[in-house]
Chains A and B, each alone.
Chain A
Amino acid sequence: MSVNRENVLSYKGSNFFRQRLVLSVLSGKPIFISDIRILEDEPGLREFEVSLIRLLDKITNGTTVELNETGTSVYFLPGLLYGGEVDHDCSLERGVGYYLEALVMLGLFCKQPLKATLKGVTSNNIDPSVDLVKTSMLQTMRKFILDDEGLDLKISKRGLRPLGGGEVIFKCPIRKQTRPVQLSDFGMVKRIRGTAYALRVSPAIANRMVDKAKGVLLQFIPDVYINTDQCRGKQSGKSPGFGIHLVAETTMDVCYSSEQVSNVVSIGEETSVPEDLGAAAAQRLLYEIYLGGVIDSTSQSVAILCMALGDKDVSKVVMGPLSDYSIWFLRHLREFFGITFKIQHLEDEEENTGRGCKKILLTCVGIGYTNLSKRTI
């Protein structure tokens, strides 16, 4: 189509595939990715990446994708975000969270409110689980939009590896733009909540995880309450397993979350012990609290994106140390949107021992991105 060749961004390798596609859709810049896993036994795109392309194709209008024969290079020409009702069977190689994260980033700027039904694995070890998306990412999004009516994630079924069977419904309203925010106070943790679930295994396992997790957390704060999510029949997916998800809420409504999910015995991983899992989740939560900031380490990229896309005003957000993913996200943002963040250590005049690690202050001027798909009357 009519696209200036100069505008195409080219990359190499499969890493940050989702980042690049999402930013490409938002910015309207076509991308060309080559050398995808050329040195591996199975070269080219994996199933989960193709599935992501499919999903993006479903929520956009006018997207063109060209793959070469081996699948080692992709040319992606984005269309305009359309939204609407989408039904997608996610690849089982990755969790639903992998796809949800993309939708969270894109959902606000669709033509019609998004209602996506995603099916697949709801939690695994390498992706944020759907619980985490709900507690952390959506919470982050809420900070950047004035009115969050219609922003919702419903977990109707849970499903674990290897067969999946989970289902979530993600609803996202459309907005014209995100607003600039200045968030520096992250408060103190006032309570800890959580969910433990045991799917197709003994329900007592959930309680065992809860007990252990509470044992760790009660040393810090008395207000700990962990739910056990009883999933029966179809709600519990197709594979056995269990997991736990913890959220720490602060006085300033900041959420830190962590989670653990059991190993899959059927594919040769060693059996996980519920007690260990519970303790590990609690430890991980403490680690997240240690990292701190206004934004959870997992949803840093969402926050960064919202800051970058905001009105042409200054946004300031205090975060914990940047994760590798966010660092690359910042780099990609610079290439796609030409936005550079001012990154500095937070200088707090008050002494702050015992308040976790050193925080980072991100400052930027938004690019004034507006929803180009939305229809005005």
Chain B
Amino acid sequence: MENAEPSKQKAHRDRHSGRKTDKKKAKKNADGAIVENDAKQKNPKAFAFNSAIRAERRFRRKQDINTKKEHIPLVDRTPIEPPPLLVAVVGPPKVGKTTLINSLIKLFTKLPLTDIKGPVTIVTGKKRRITFVECNNDINSMIDLAKVADLALLLCDASFGFEMEVFEFLNICQVHGMPKIMGVLTHLDMIKNSKTLKTTKKTLKHRFWTEVYPGAKLFYLSGILHGEYLKNESKNLGRFISVMKFRPLQWRTTHSYLVGDRYEDLTNQELIRQNPKCDRNVALYGYVRGVPLKKENWVHIPGFGDQKIHDVSFLPDPCPLPEQLKKRALIEKEKFIYAPFSGVGGIVYDKDAVYVELGGSHSYKNREEDESNTIVANLLDVKETLDEKMKHSELQIFTGGDKLTAEDIDESDSLIAPEKNSQTHSLVDEKFKQLLKKSFEKVNAGDRIRRRVVFNDKENVDSDHDELLSDAEDLEKDNDSEVDQQDMENEESDSEKEVANSANEETDEEESEEDDVKWKDDLMKKARDSFFERHSSNQNLMKLVYGSFDNKKAMETVGMEEGSDDGIGELFKKVSRNQHEIRENKDIINLTESSLSLPWDSVMTDWTDPQKIILISNCFVTGKWKESEDASELLKLDDADLSDKDSEVFGDFEDLETGETHKAKDETGEKRKREETDKPSDTALIEKKKKLKERFDAEYDNTDKSNHYEELKMQNEKQSQLNKTVFEDMPEDMRVQIEGFRPGMYVRIEFKNVPAEFIQHFDPTYPLIIGALNMGEENIGYVNVKIKKHRWYKKILKTNDPVIISLGWRRFQTIPYYSKLEDDMKYRYLKYTPEHLACNAHFWGPITPQGTGFLALQVIQSDQEAMKHIGFRIAATGSVQELDKSTKIMKKLKLIGHPLKIYKKTAFIKGMFNSSLEVARFEGARIKTVSGIRGQIKKAVNKPEGCFRATFEDKILLSDIVFCRTWYKVDAPQFYSPVNTLLLPPDKKGFWKGLRSTGEIKRELGIRNAANQDSMYTDIEREQKPFKPLIIPNKLQKALPYKDKPKHGVKLSEMKKGVQRVSVIREPHEQKISTMMKMLRSSYDQKQSKLKEETKKRLEKHRQEIEAIEADKGKKLKQKKKEVFRRKSKAQQKEKERG
């Protein structure tokens, strides 16, 4: 009750009237905002500038912080509709990866998915799709997925702690460009004790932070309920995933790639029946990621090898984002799920078939579609169906044939004229021809479906009219000048050329006309008609350059197959292509190549002719400027700005002025311009003004211009804007040719001659990645890399031992040669990698851009036994430095020779070389003896072959060894073998076997190296060294003191040894004395020992006594103390009670 009281108190109410409030209001209004620098105002001195040094430091620190924040601005190439996010779920077995995917899918789609195989794509939000992939416990899969994943969910069994796989995966990620990584701890319910749970969480978190970055997100999934993770926990995780942002990674912003989520075997069933091992034609499907995919690219499929793309086509998105955003959340209908490998996903429309997924069982009989399906396809497919193609083909063959003859007659020369129009090509002619053709078509079309004919007819009439009109306009527009030009050109060139030119134009026109008609046949493309009309001229230009433009297989396949899938367009093209070739063969093939448009000595017309002058007069600064640049025009606009009404007057005035200064020729221009400026309405003027304003702003408003960074950023932004918009209005099929298949498109890629094992041993749990290779990357050469042995790897690496390297998209086995770059830029051969240093390695491998990271493994077998003693599997990491076609590794070489004969400083050395020819190669080389005497090789001598004369800086000894230190070039072997794990049968996928190292082979065969006899341990035998007797001269002897003088008598030891003692026999009296003495001595000894014993006892006793006394004293003291403390405490208590 008492506590509740303060909350009941009345809140303070601000006053809204009165003197003070007025004051406050005035203050507020003056600044526009609440005045926050109150303190500054009240005490301005405290905020005065007082220390220049401190200010400088402050400034510098601020700059430092700002600069640290800056990154090199990159052009943003993220597509407008990005491909689904690839989330890889990684972790050692039995940590709950499948459970996690299941619960996430259930969370997003409300559909439980059992038995997940391969990637699962789902729509999670209005602008986001996610593909989940589970990574199996194979280092190959881990490597492949690390290269493509946008986000890796790294699962860890908290009750066990981190396992090696986790760290291996983190390392793989670091090498191949770090994707986002989120740790997830599972099995937390296994830890019963709350305290241990807390500490485990903490330690694991900190370990994770050191690996990724401090503060990296680590999720805790506390337990399992009904076989699923707790709902709100997985919900949180899902939320985190769906709002995550990504940084572009270097490799992926330069390479396009696909994660295959479907495949079809397109091989003829009959061929397979005859030979089950025959090469297959395969189509793979997936979303394009990274950058646009070009059809001409080579691709690499990790685990399989390089392939040339046979064909690419884009398909409607099987898992599209919602088109219109009606509500905040997704409707159930829009929550698509697409997982063909798991048997989920709706109907898929393909180029030549419709695929209906039959739940669970995955069947690939794509050829035999029943009638109803074809009908469905007919209705739904945007492309031509087989039936239609057949009908087309008849028609096209006919017209094509016609054309063939026409072309044969007409086309006799090369394509020379760059201009589209030619004066010989009259309008009437064209019209006539077109009409002729249309009528032909009508007749032909008469046999076919009626509806079509009518349709065509109508269209033709309309478009005829339009086209003609537009053509005429076009011609008129560009030709008043151009005709002249053509005239001239034709005058210059011989008449034959002229004819050829015009002939060419004609045929081109015809071709385009044909194409137009064909397009119109198509239902879908009809909509684009108007567009094509607009761009027909451009089409023609492109056609002129690239030949038949919409034929995608232009020039590539000379030998054609009668593919039913290629339809009639193909047949028609074939004819024209042959024509092309014939033409080429005839004329151009062996002409002289020159980059000049015309040879220098070709005759020109007179450009000083007034008629011609008109054509180029405005190319010079003396001519008329563009309106946006012309000074007078700009002035006029300024005036218009000032006073809208009087603009005309001002304009006139201005004109007069310029008219005075300029020449007569200009005046006409001005007049014309005036007429025009009079005409346009206010809107045009406003438009113009706006443009000018923009230009002005761009020039002057930008205060940040000095800031290079900002400028760069702006430039990149501009470029990315341009990239996105420039091809926006092109039809998709053309755009794809120019730009490639944009990321986010769902494409189907066809491959020819794929080994049968790829299909037979296909396992969806292994990721299927199709990585495009850029120009030159399909080649092989020497790769020079910077490499460092991983500090957790137990062994050092040896030159000439094969390793498995993951570089770029590829995984391959190769033989590296390690070397160290010396200060003189020489690569010195190393037999082993240094323990804690980076070194260089050369190996024969795929050409990959510099700076690409790679990692090396020695074992990739997922053999539990082997793993146990290997521990960490990643042997080394590094990055590419240089690419070349040869290596420059030098091995140190010491040549050894022995002196044969020695004169003063000259010596003849033998045994270093085998022939005088070899010596000749080394004349003048520096040599050195073991003792460090330097010399030089002079010349070979005849007699013992290979012997030479050498001079030294000093006389050498015959026992010296002479060295010559040189370098020997070693070549790394050209061994490169891709790791083709995808082709192995499922149970052997983890046991790929490649080249074995010598050590491995020896170990397996039980071969032991024969030990070097010289290196064996033997007993040390040391001979006694006999010294010479010491002889001291007599004189010296005399001078020596006595103790140092040699004694010539018998030595004591000699005496002991040599002298034979005489036995003493005592007299009886002496005997008595000696016994007496003996007894006395023994009694004395006895007495002494007794005395000692007693003293000891006494001392012991005394000690005990003392101890007892001490103990007594201590006891008393203790009691006393106790008493004192008791009293004291009592006193205190009393005091307390009192107080």
Contacts and interface: CB of A to CB of B under 8 A. Distances in A.
B1104 interface: no
B228 interface: no
Contact of B588 (A13, A338, A345, A367): A13
B664 interface: no
Contact of B591 (A6, A15, A342): A15
B1068 interface: no
B292, B485, B545, B738: which has the most chain A beta carbons within 10 Å? B545
A80 B885 contact: yes
Nearest to B740: A365
A341 B545 CA distance: 9
A375 B882 contact: yes
A159 B536 CA distance: 49
Interface residues of A, number: 107
Q: Do most interface residues of chain A lie in helix, strand or loop, or is the interface mixed?
A: loop
B623 A188 contact: yes
A368 B623 contact: no
A36 B726 CA distance: 42
A15 B544 contact: no
B602 to A, nearest CB: 9
A53 to B, nearest CB: 14
Contacts of A79: 885
Nearest to A299: B595
A3 B779 contact: yes
Contacts of A377: 881
Contact of A101 (B418, B545, B595): B595
Contact of A61 (B308, B478, B740, B885): B885
A6 B851 CA distance: 29
A345 B538 contact: yes
A137 to B, nearest CB: 9
A302 to B, nearest CB: 9
A334 B555 CA distance: 10
A64 to B, nearest CB: 10
Contacts of B740: 365
Contacts of A2: 780, 974, 976
Interface string A1-43: 1111011000011111111000000111000000111011000
A272 to B, nearest CB: 9
Nearest to A355: B618
Interface string A203-239: 0000000000000100111100000000000000000
Interface string B692-725: 0000000000000000000000000001101100
Nearest to A97: B595
B624 interface: yes
Contacts of B544: 327
Nearest to B735: A342
Given A298-B597, A357-B482, A376 B851 contact: yes
Contacts of B850: 370, 372, 374-376
B596, B623, B625: which has the most chain A beta carbons within 10 Å? B596
B621 A335 contact: no
A377 B879 CA distance: 10
Contact of A353 (B594, B618, B780, B880): B618
B615 interface: yes
B995 interface: no
A67 B719 CA distance: 46
A209 B597 CA distance: 23
Nearest to A60: B885
A19 B591 CA distance: 13
A3 to B, nearest CB: 7
Nearest to A37: B590
Nearest to A137: B595
A80 B601 CA distance: 38
A344 B881 contact: no
Nearest to B544: A327
Contacts of B624: 354
A330 B541 CA distance: 12
Contact of A188 (B597, B619, B780): B619
A314 B588 contact: no
B847 A28 contact: yes
A300 to B, nearest CB: 8
B616 A354 contact: yes
A180 interface: yes
Nearest to B781: A80
Contact of A330 (B545, B600, B884): B545
Interface string A263-293: 1000000000000000010011011011110
Q: Which 9 A-B residue pairs are closest in the complex by CB-CB distance?
A: A338-B296, A62-B885, A13-B589, A321-B418, A354-B618, A344-B538, A323-B597, A286-B607, A28-B776
Given A342-B538, A350-B628, A352-B626, 11 more contacts: A4-B306, A27-B775, A62-B886, A125-B601, A128-B596, A298-B596, A338-B296, A344-B535, A353-B618, A355-B616, A376-B881
7 contacts: A111-B884, A334-B546, A337-B775, A343-B541, A358-B419, A365-B738, A367-B294
